[in-house]
Amino acid sequence: MSQTPEKNQSIAKPKSFQAIILALQNYWASKGCAILQPYDMEVGAGTFHPATTLRSLGTQAWAAAYVQPSRRPTDGRYGENPNRLQHYYQYQVLIKPSPPNLQELYLGSLEAIGINMDLHDIRFVEDDWESPTLGAWGLGWEVWCDGMEVSQFTYFQQVGGHDCHPVSGELTYGLERLAMYVLGVDHVMNMPFNDPDALIPLTYADVFKQTEEEYARWNFDTANTDVLLRQFEEAEAHCKMILEQPVNDPKTGKRIIMVHPAYDQCIKASHMFNLLDARGVISVTERQAYIGRVRALSKMCADAFVQTRAGGWSEDAA
Amino acid sequence: MPDLLIELFSEEIPARMQSRAAADLQKLVTNGLVEAGLTYASAAAFSTPRRLALTVEGMLDASPAVVEERKGPKADAPEKAIEGFLRGAGVNRDQLEERDTPKGKILFAKINKPGRPAAEIIAEVLEQTIRNFPWPKSMRWGSGSLKWVRPLHSILCVMSAEDGAQIVPLEVDGITSGDTTFGHRFLAPDAIKVTSFEDYEAKLARANVVLRADARGETIWNDATNVAFASGMEVVEDAGLLAEVAGLVEWPVVLMGNIADDFLGLPAEVLQTSMKEHQKFFSVRNPKTGRIEKFITVANRTTADNGATILAGNEKVLSARLADAKFFWENDLRVAKSKDGMATWVKALENVTFHNKLGTQAELINRMAVLARELAPMVGAEADEAEAAAKVAKADLSSEMVYEFPELQGLMGRYYASAAGMSDAVAAAAQEHYAPLGPSDDVPTAPVSVAVALAEKIDKLTGFWAIDEKPTGSKDPFALRRAALGVIRLAVSNGLSLDIKSAIEEAYWLLLNQLNRNNRLYDIGSDEDNESDAYVVSAWPHQEAELYLGPSHNGVTEVAYDIAEWSAHITPIAQAPQFLEILAFLHDRLKVYLKDQGIRHDIIDACISIPDGAPEGATPQNDDLTLLVKRAKALSETLKTDDGENLIQGFKRANNILTQAEEADGVEYSYGADVKFSETDEERALFKALDEAEAVITPAMEKQDFTTAMSAMATLRAPVDAFFDAVQVNSDNGTVRRNRLNLLSRIRTICTSVADLTKVDG
C-alpha cells in the first residue's frame, strides 16, 4: 500500500471554475473512473444520482465520477450571499469496493487542482453522513484544508435500508466553495467561470446571478404549493405503480424491472418536498412524515434494484 | 521476560474516541493475557489520530504448565460412559485414578496442560480484541467484513527480549501482522521498522509523530500561551477543546492569527463559539481591552513558509464565518431595537412547536408568564417584572444568531433584551432561566431569574407528566430529571419556601385551559362556585364530551361543561394521579440530591413522611423542599452522634410498646401523663428531661431551627435508656400503666416533630 499521495506529473495552477472541474474530470479518469454526465433531473445532492444511490447497492464493482448540478431551494439568497446558492455543483466520486488507498487517491485529486501538499494543512475530521430521505448512512470525515471544509468522504454502510456489501467509498466536493478557495475569490459571483484571459471572460455572476434571483423569488414566494403538493403525491403514486408491475414484460417476455423509471419518481417527490419546504408550508411534525414517505420510495427502489442484474441478481443464483 | 508492542494503524480515528479506545485496547489485551496465564509487570496505551498503541512489559515468555483434575463417572459405570469421559478429557485409561467418595468409587482424570508460548497466546488475544473492539460506532470497508472505526491498515505486533525482537504472527481478515508502521501522513510517510517500544516511540518522534496525547496537549498549550504572551495576550482556557485538538494532530504546530477589526465588536461569546465550534480555534484575549482579538489554530505540520499559507487560509475561513455571525448580530439588533422589538420574535414562536401535544413555544411562554407572576412573591421578585421577563426569556429562539448557534440561546436573549431597553433583571433572566442545567453549575440568585427559571421547570414537569411522557429507566428524552433537580436546587440554594403544590396546580390549570382553547381537550370543567378548584378528567384527552360554550374574553370562547353531569368523571387537580406523581418524582430527585451530599435514603424518607395533611398511606405531599433539606441535614448530623444513634433505639422501643398497647386497647394515648403517678426515679427523671427538652424544642421548631431541636432531642437518649432499663411499662396497676403509656406518647410526639423516626434504619 502506498502511503504517499499520488503525485501528478505537472500541475498548472487553474485559473477558472471550469479549469478545476476539468482537472478533477481528468484526474479521476486517469484513476480509472467512468466519467458520467450529470443526471437529467433536479436533485438536492450528487448522492441522488442513480450512479451513486442505486450503484452502491448489490455486489457489482463500480467506479464513476461526475459533476451533479444540485438544488437546495431553501439556500437561495438572490445571489447576494458570498457562499450560498440555491443551485450549485457537486463533484461526486463513487468507487465500489472502496480501494485501500482511497485517501491517497483523494489527496492526489487536491494536488491535481493546484493545492500544494507541502504548504497546506489537510485534515480528516470526523463527520458521519446520514440521509433520512434515502434511508442511508455511512461513516467518514469532512476534509479540511487550512480549516476550510473542502470535501465529504464517506464509507457507505447502508443505502435504502440495505447493508452495503461491498462498501462503496464516496467523495463529494462542493465545487464552488473549493474553487473559490483555490482561486482566492471572496464572493462566488466574482469567480471566473472560464479563463479570465479568454476572448469573452465570464464570471460566475455572468452565468448564474440572474437565475439565482429568479429561482429565489420563485422558490420562496411564487411556486404554487397546491401544484407542488399534487405533484408530490402523483410522483409517489407513480413510483409505487411502476414497481408493482410484474417482473416479466408481457410484450417482450423479458425480465424487466423498471427500477430507474421508478427511482426518477422518487427523485421527483424528493425535490417537490424540498420546494414545499422552501415555501414554508410544511410544519415541523409534517416534515418528518414527508421525509418518511420519500424514504419509503427510496427503500422500494433499493429493494427492486437488488433484484436486477446491475444490482447483482443473476439467473443462476435465482 | 519479553516485552510486547502492539500498534493498530488505521485511517483517522475521531478525536473524541481516541483515549477511550486506547484504554479499551489495554484492558482487553492485558485481561486476555492474564486469563491465559501470561502475567506482566506493566502496561501502557497511547493514541494518535491514526493509531492505537500498547506496550506490555515484563511478560512471561510462556504460560505456566497446569495440572487439571476432572471428575468422571463412577468406577462401575457402563463402558460407554467411561469411554466418553476419556474422549472428552483427552486422556488414556491409565491416567485415570479411582477414589473413594461418599457417593462411592469415582473416576478422576488428571490432565496435564503444558504451558503455551507467549506468541501463541498474544496472537489469539489480539485477534479477539480486534474482532470484538467496543467502538461506539464502527464500519466495514472494501469487500471485507471486519469492523473497525475507520479502515484498519496494519497491525504491528512485536515481542522483544534481550536476544532480539520477533514478529508475533497473526492475520485478521487479510491484514498480516508485521514490525512496520508509518510516520506522519505528509511529513514522513515512509514505512518504519521497529524492534521495541522505546525504538517505536523514538522513531515515530523522528517521523513527526508525537505518540502521547498528553505530550501533544502540553506542547499545544505551552506554545499557545507563549506565542500569545509574546504579543501581550492570553489564551482563553478550554480543556475540552485542548483534548479534542490534541486528537486531531500527530505533529502539533501552533499558529496565532488575527481577527479582522470588523469583527472585534461582536460579543466575546459569539466569537468564541464560532471559532471553537466551526474551526477548533482557541480564543486569545487582550487583557488590556478584555476583548478577544486573536485566535490560535493548531496545524498538523510544519511547512517551508512557516505556516504562512495555512494561517492565511484559516484567517480567510474565519472571516467568512464571522461575516455570517456579524450579519446575524446586526440583523438581530435591528429587530430588538425596532418599535415592536422582541415581540416580533415571540410572535414568530407561534409557529414553532414546543411539543406537538403541548402546543407552541408561544403558548409555553404564555404559561410561563402567568406562572412566573404567581411565583414572584414567593421568591422576592416583583410580579410585573417576573411576568415581563418570562415573556421575552425565549424570544431569542427566533433570532438568526441562535438559529445558527443554538448553544448561544439565552445569552443572546440577554444581549438583545438589553438592546431592547429592558431592565437588567429582565435581561439576566433571559440567560439565567435555563439554569441550573446540571448538578454542579451555578444556580441563579436574582429573584426575577429564579421566578422565570422555576416557572420554566415546573411547567415542563407538569406538561410532560400530563401527556404521560415520564422518564423511564435510563430514558429521559425531555430531561425531566434535570428539571426536577433544577427546581430543588433553585429552592434549596436560595433558601426559598415555595408552595410547589399550588404552582403545579396552576401550571396544570394553565395547560388544560390552553389545550381546551385549542380544542385539543374535550373534558375539563371549572366549578362556578369554587373557581380556585381546577378539575381534570381521568381519561382526558381522549374522551368525547358534550361541550357547552361559555363566556368569551380576549376573543377566545371558553368551553364550559355541565359539572354536575360530569361529576363522576372529574377529580380536583390536586388529587389527580399525575399531580401526586410529580411530587413523588420531586421527592425521589431530592433523595438523589441529598444522597450525593452524604445523607442516607432513610433519613430523607423520614423527613418526607412527616404529617402533611395527606391521608394515612397516601403519597406524602410535603413540598417545601428547603424545609425538608433543613430537617434532613439536622437529623443526619444528630444521627452521627452516639446519643443520636441510640435515641433511635429508645424511640422505636417506646413507639412499639405504645403502638401495641394502642392497638390492644383501641385507644390513643396522647396526653395526660402526670409526674405524680411516677414510681421510680428514672420515671421522674424522664419527665424532667422531656420538660426540659420541650422547652428548647418548641421555640426551636417555631423558628425552623431543626439543629437545635435535634440536639435537644438527643439529650433524651440517657433518660429514655435509663427509663427502659428500670421500668416495666405494662404495670399491673392500670393507672400507672396508663400514665406510663402517656409518657411514651410524649416521647413519640417530641421525637417525630422533625422527622418520622420510625422510618430511620437502626
Q: Which residues of A touch B303 (CB under 8 A)?
A: 118-121
Judged against a pLDDT cut of 50, whether residue A212 lies above it is answered with yes
Select the residue of A4, A99, A118 nearest B303 (Cβ to Cβ).
Answer: A118
Contacts with B300 from chain A: Cβ below 8 Å = 121, 123
- Could A166 and B142 be called an inter-chain contact, meaning their C-beta atoms sit closer than 8 Å? yes
Please judge whether A285 and B353 are an interchain contact, meaning their C-beta atoms are less than 8 angstroms apart.
yes
> Which has the minimum average pLDDT: B38-52, B283-297, B512-526?
B512-526
- DSSP character at residue A48: G
Report whether pLDDT(B219) > 70. Answer: yes
Asked if pLDDT for residue B558 goes beyond 70, the answer is no
| Length of chain A, in residues | 318
The region of weakest confidence among B407-416, B438-447, B485-494, B558-567 is B558-567
As a whole number of Å, the end-to-end CA separation of chain A is 38
CB contact under 8 A, A146 and B314: yes
A306-A309-A313 Cα angle (round to 5)? 55
In which residue are the cell numbers 434535570 written? Answer: B482
Put simply, the answer to whether B320 touches A139 (Cβ < 8 Å) is no
Tell whether the model's pLDDT for residue B535 goes beyond 70: no
A152 residue type, one letter: Q
Substitution target from B13, B17, B141, B278 for chain A, most A beta carbons within 10 A: B141
Selected for mutation to probe chain A from B9, B138, B143, B356 (highest A CB count within 10 Å) is B143
Q: Give residue ranges of A with CB < 8 Å to any B CB.
A: 1, 3-4, 82-83, 97-100, 103, 116-126, 128, 138-141, 145-148, 155, 157, 164-167, 169, 181, 186, 283-285
C-alpha to C-alpha distance for B448 and A282, rounded to whole angstroms? 37
For a pLDDT cut of 90, what percent of chain B falls above it? 51
Q: Which residue of A has its CA nearest to B143?
A: A166
Using pLDDT thresholds of 50, 70 and 90, give the confidence band for residue B540. very low
Contacts of B597 (CB under 8 A, 6+ apart): none
Give the pLDDT score at B620: 64
| A contacts of B353 (beta carbons < 8 Å) | 283-285
Question: C-alpha cell of B682?
Answer: 428514672
> Residue B575 has what pLDDT?
63
Q: Give the C-alpha separation, A112 to A94, whole Å.
A: 18
Average pLDDT over residues A202-209: 97
Q: What is the pLDDT of residue B576?
A: 66
Tell if the CB–CB gap between A123 and B11 is shorter than 8 Å: no
- The closest of B453, B390, B372 to B426, measured between CA atoms, is B390
The answer to whether residue B192 scores a pLDDT higher than 80 is yes
Among A116-125, B538-547, B620-629, which range has the highest average pLDDT?
A116-125
Searching chain A, which residue's CA lies closest to the CA of residue B151?
Answer: A100
Q: Which residues of A268-288 are buried (b: 16+ CB within 10 A; e: fewer)?
A: bbbbbbbbbbbbeebeeeeee
pLDDT exceeds cutoff 70 at A273 = yes
* Whether pLDDT at A7 is above 60: no
Chain A residues lying within 8 Å of B301, measured CB to CB: 121
Q: Are A283 and B353 an interchain contact pair (Cβ–Cβ within 8 Å)?
A: yes
Helix (H) or strand (E) holding A27: helix A17-30
Strand order in the sheet with B282-285: B234-235, B282-285, B292-299, B253-258
pLDDT digits (tens, 9 = 90+) for B729-756: 888 888 888 889 988 888 888 888 888 8
Question: For residue B290, what is its C-alpha cell?
Answer: 478584555
- Work out the minimum CA distance from A95 to partner chain B, whole angstroms: 9
Q: Residue B49 and residue A31: Cα distance in Å, rounded?
A: 27
What's residue A299's pLDDT?
A: 96
Residues from chain A contacting residue B190 (CB–CB below 8 Å): 3
Per-residue model confidence as pLDDT tens digits over A171-184: 999 999 999 999 98
Is A139 in contact with B353 (Cβ distance < 8 A)? no
User: Between chains, do A141 and B182 touch, taking CB under 8 Å as contact?
Assistant: no
Shortest CA gap A146–chain B (Å): 5
- The verdict on a CB contact (< 8 Å) between B313 and A3 is no
Query: Residue B419 contacts by C-beta under 8 Å, 6 or more apart in sequence?
Result: B333, B336, B337
What local confidence, expressed as pLDDT, does residue B159 receive?
96
Per-residue pLDDT at B52 exceeds 80: yes
B175-178 and B152-161 strand pairing: parallel
> What distance lies between CA B525 and its chain's CA centroid?
39
Question: Could you tell me how many CB contacts below 8 A there are between chain A and chain B?
Answer: 111
- Look at A283 and B320 and tell me if their CB atoms are within 8 Å: no
- A218-259 confidence digits (pLDDT tens): 988 888 989 999 999 999 999 999 999 999 999 999 999 999
What percent of chain A lies above the pLDDT cut of 70?
95
Cross-strand bridge partners of residue A162: A159
User: How far is A139 from chain B, CA to nearest CA, in Å?
Assistant: 7
pLDDT tens digits, one per residue of B430-455 = 999 999 988 888 999 999 999 999 99
Average pLDDT, chain B: 87
- B667 has pLDDT over 80: yes
Which one of B10, B140, B146 would you mutate to disrupt binding with A, by most A Cβ within 10 Å of its Cβ? Answer: B140
Q: Residue B117: is its pLDDT beyond 50? A: yes
Beta-strand ranges (E) seen in B75-163 are 96-101, 104-113, 152-161
| Residue A119 to residue B137, Cβ atoms within 8 A | no
| More confident site: B428 or B638 | B428
| CB within 8 Å: B353 and A103 | no
E-state strands within B33-139: 42-48, 51-57, 66-74, 96-101, 104-113
Q: Which of B186, B306, B351, B520 to mutate to test the interface with A (most CBs of A within 10 A)?
A: B186
Chain A CB contacts of B312 under 8 Å are 146
Spatial CA neighbour of B409 closest among B423, B425, B392: B392
Q: pLDDT of B576-603, one tens digit each?
A: 666 778 888 999 999 999 988 889 888 8
Q: What is the pLDDT averaged over residues B527-551?
A: 39
Write out the DSSP string of B169-210: --EETTEEEESEEE--TTT--SEEE-SSHHHHHHHHHHTT--
In the chain, the amino acid numbered A180 is M
Whether A169 and B141 lie within 8 Å, measured CB to CB? yes
3-state secondary structure of B141: coil
pLDDT (mean) for B451-468 = 91
Q: Across chain A, where does the E strand assignment appear?
A: 34-35, 62-71, 87-96, 122-126, 129-131, 136-145, 148-159, 162-163, 169-174
Identify the weakest region by mean pLDDT among A56-60, A246-250, B635-639.
B635-639
| Contacts with A156 from chain B: Cβ below 8 Å | none
Measured CA to CA in angstroms, residue B638 lies from A261, B603, B677 at distances of 80, 11, 32
Within 13 A of A169's CA, how many CA atoms are on the CB side? 21
> Cβ contacts of residue A230 below 8 Å, gap of 6+?
none
Cβ distance A124 to B16 less than 8 Å, yes or no, reads no
Q: If you write DSSP's letter for every residue of A105-126 in order, what string do you get?
A: HHHHHHHHTT--TTT--EEEEE
Cβ contact (<8 Å) for A126 and B297?
Answer: no
Asked if the model's pLDDT at residue B570 lies above 70, the reply is no
pLDDT at B613 over 70: no
Contact A4 B279 (CB under 8 A): no
A155 to B150: CB separation less than 8 angstroms, yes or no: yes
More confident residue, B297 or A276: B297
Put simply, the answer to whether A119 touches B309 (Cβ < 8 Å) is yes
Nearest by CB to residue B142, choosing from A3, A97, A147, is A97
Strands B3-10, B51-57: pairing is antiparallel
Q: Whole-structure pTM over 0.90, yes or no?
A: no
The region, left, alpha or beta by phi > 0 then psi within -120 to 50, assigned to residue A129 is: beta
Give the separation between CA B255 and CA B249, rounded to whole angstroms: 13
Strand partners, B53: B7, B46
Reported ipTM: 0.92
Distance CA A23, CA A35 (A): 12
Which distant-in-sequence residues (6+ apart) come within 8 Å of B170 by Cβ? B122, B123, B126, B127, B155, B157, B176, B177
Q: Which residue of B has its CA nearest to A101?
A: B153
CA distance B557 to B554: 8
Which one of B248, B309, B353 has the shortest CB-CB distance to A123? Answer: B248
Predicted confidence (pLDDT) per residue in B226-262, tens digit:
999 999 999 999 999 999 999 999 999 999 999 999 8
**Cα of A64 vs its chain's centroid, Å:** 12
pLDDT in tens, A108-167: 999 999 999 999 999 999 999 999 999 999 999 999 999 999 999 999 999 999 999 999
Mention every residue, 6+ apart, whose C-beta is less than 8 A from residue B516: B524, B558, B559
Nearest Cα of chain A lies from the Cα of B398 at a distance, in angstroms, of: 15
In a mutagenesis test of the A interface, which of B20, B185, B280 is the best target, namely the one with the most A β-carbons within 10 Å?
B185
Q: Do A122 and B151 touch (CB under 8 A)?
A: no
Nearest-Cα distance to chain A for B13, in Å, is: 8
Gap from B573 CA to chain A (nearest CA, Å): 30
Q: Do B140 and A148 touch (CB under 8 A)?
A: no
pLDDT tens-digit profile of B19-34? 999 999 999 999 999 9
Q: Across the interface, which of B139, B190, B279 has its CB nearest the CB of A139?
A: B139
Nearest to A61 by CA among A33, A90, A92, A39: A33
